[in-house]
Amino acid sequence: MSENAFIEYDGNKLELETMIGSENEIGVDITQLRAKTGMITLDPGYGNTGSCASDITYIDGDKGILRYRGYSIEELAEKSTFMECAFLILKGHLPNHSELAEFDQGISEQAGLHYSMKNNFDGFPANAPPMAILSSMLNTLACYNTELLMTEHEGEAFELVVSKIISKVRTIAAWTYRTSQGRAYMPPNPNLSYSGNFLHMMFSQPFDEYKIIPEVEAAVDLFFVLHADHEQNCSTSTVRMVGSSRANLFSSVAAGVGALWGPLHGGANAAVIDMLENIHSNGIKLSDYVDAAKDKNNDTKLMGFGHRVYKSFDPRAKILKTHVDSVLEALKIDDPLLNIARELEEVALHDEYFVSRNLYPNVDFYSGILLKAIGIPVDMFTVMFAIGRMPGWISNWREMLSHNQRICRPRQVYTGENLRPYVSISDR
């Protein structure tokens, strides 16, 4: 039994129950606060507010811990695959051989897109932002699956929607890239792995099959594993928010893409490369750039640094940093941006401004260098993040519905004008 909490205000004292999580996190239950006191809490950005209880992912920001369903990200990165992690995040346990084969098969069967969707792709201008196309085309899937727009969160129909979205997000991404290159769409190859098929659809030519290098296929799969879920981040909370109105899963994940697009969130991986290339091409001294990032008079940030939750190293950044080396070596690439990233990290980690604010490299700091080495264009980096995060978004959407959660509707403190009479325009 946990200790209760108390709020005292204006001579009144309200006892509030607390909830203790499986990792001893404590949540104060304020569900009755307004009814009993007329007061609400105020927490812009929700830095101190829990939106839900969840069994999916655990993060300890102070210790740099990340676990999917209790398994450490370090073990999953080393021993698992994206399909196995997707199953784990969605179902709550690691699959046995037959479960994984069935899950894999279900996803592989759904890799294609309805031929008419070609008209949608052809309708976008060549320079259309890939995240805009991705969000649009995820919603467009709803137009081709009208019989699946229900909001059940379990059963065969739900499993089919899950397979469709996890499989087709990859195809939509690849065809988005090919549209921008003016290339014909490359049909999926069901004999390839999830990540291998993605590379094939991205880079194969009609008479020139893309040669999948094992290290590259493994690096793409690792990238997806590391991005598969991350508890109640901005985009996942968006998916829950949209789903709470009982909107269908296609539109809920399409909304998640919109939230992920922002440079403070999933857009940071591309922003890191832009930052490193700016430093490289303009010969900017690293200490000068770090000083600019500390200067409150401009909006320069050290992109890929800092995190709302991690106040120590983001474990995903550590894993990516080691894998970048092996991929660049396998591809015989010597990327000057990697050296700049390393030096920038070194400068920042010894700078009082960053140290005192617990600002460390996050998942985005090295991921862009890995994607660039593989040949993914910068404007597709956040699309890659969305592909990886899809199992996490879907699992959170399902969990929210399985808890039969009410529609999300936060309150506010009004600070505008008090009542005033209308004045006709002739008297203004």
Cβ closer to ligand SDX: 183 or 301? 301
Q: Is 341 in the site for ligand SDX (CB under 6 A)?
A: no
Cβ closer to ligand SDX: 268 or 383? 268
**Which pair of structure tokens corresponds to residue 73?**
């990200």
Please tell me the distance from the alpha carbon of residue 174 to that of residue 189, in angstroms, as a whole number.
13
Cβ closer to ligand SDX: 37 or 49? 49
User: Please, what is the minimum distance in Å from the beta carbon of residue 368 to ligand SDX?
Assistant: 11
- 63, 350, 357, 403: which one binds ligand SDX (CB under 6 A): 357
Cβ closer to ligand SDX: 280 or 301? 301
329 and 321 Cβ atoms separated by less than 8 Å: no
In the bound complex, which residue of the shown chain has the CB atom lying closest to ligand SDX? 306
Neighbours of 48 (CB within 10 A): 9
CA 388 to chain centre: 7
Task: Verify whether residue 97 is a known catalytic residue.
Answer: no
214 and 331 Cβ atoms separated by less than 8 Å: no
Give the footprint of ligand SDX on residues 196-255 (CB under 6 A).
Answer: 230, 233
CA distances (Å), origin 405, targets 96, 360, 410: 31, 35, 14
Q: Is 355 in the site for ligand SDX (CB under 6 A)?
A: no
Q: Which position has the token pair 């991205």?
A: 202
CA 200 to chain centre: 23
Q: Is the dihedral of CA 124, 126, 131, 132 positive or negative?
A: negative
HSE-up of 69 (CA within 13 Å, CB side)? 19
Q: Is 363 in the site for ligand SDX (CB under 6 A)?
A: yes
**Site track for ligand SDX across 288-317, x = CB under 6 A:** -----x-------xxxxxxxxx--------
Q: Is 81 in the site for ligand SDX (CB under 6 A)?
A: no
Cβ closer to ligand SDX: 48 or 146? 48
User: Please, what is the minimum distance in Å from the beta carbon of residue 1 to ligand SDX?
Assistant: 32
Q: Is 265 in the site for ligand SDX (CB under 6 A)?
A: yes
User: Please, what is the minimum distance in Å from the beta carbon of residue 356 to ligand SDX?
Assistant: 9
DSSP state, residue 361: B
Task: Verify whether residue 280 is a known catalytic residue.
Answer: no
Q: Which position has the token pair 């879907």?
A: 394
Cβ closer to ligand SDX: 118 or 265? 265
Q: Which position has the token pair 């590391």?
A: 226
DSSP state, residue 416: S
The active-site residue, picked from 230, 307, 314, 323, is 307
Please tell me the distance from the alpha carbon of residue 231 to that of residue 137, in angstroms, as a whole number.
25
Query: Where does this chain bind ligand SDX (CB under 6 A)?
Result: 230, 233, 264-265, 268, 293, 301-309, 357, 359, 362-364
Active site residues: 307, 364
